[in-house]
Amino acid sequence: MTEQLKRELSLIAILSFVSMLFIVCFAPVKDGAHDLLLVLLGTLVGVVKDVYCFYFGSSSGSQRKTEILNQQPAPPANKQS
């Protein structure tokens, strides 16, 4: 998955969360639909948490470490006789 696609999916997740939060707080909603919207909002909270953890947590550091290690030349092989 490319970095651009990851960023776009993350942006979609965050915008979905903000939109759902606005709907739950300010839009008039039928009583039965309100519970469903709260469940969806809770799910989106988890998705946004995962996005935050990836970009600012250990996954981001691990990814940078892997990129740095891939740029270094391989050590010479030891010849044993």
* pLDDT average, residue stretch 42-47: 93
Neighbours of 1 (CB within 10 A): 6
Mean pLDDT over each residue of the chain, to the nearest integer:
84
- In 3-state terms, the chain is what percent helix, strand and coil (to 5)? 80, 0, 20
Domain map (residue ranges) of the chain: 3-70
Neighbours of 34 (CB within 10 A): 12
Q: Is the dihedral of CA 59, 5, 24, 21 positive or negative?
A: positive
Neighbours of 66 (CB within 10 A): 10
Cα end-to-end distance, the chain, whole Å: 44
pTM, two decimal places: 0.65
Residue 15 pLDDT more than 90?
yes
Q: How far apart are CA 21 and CA 15, in angstroms?
A: 10
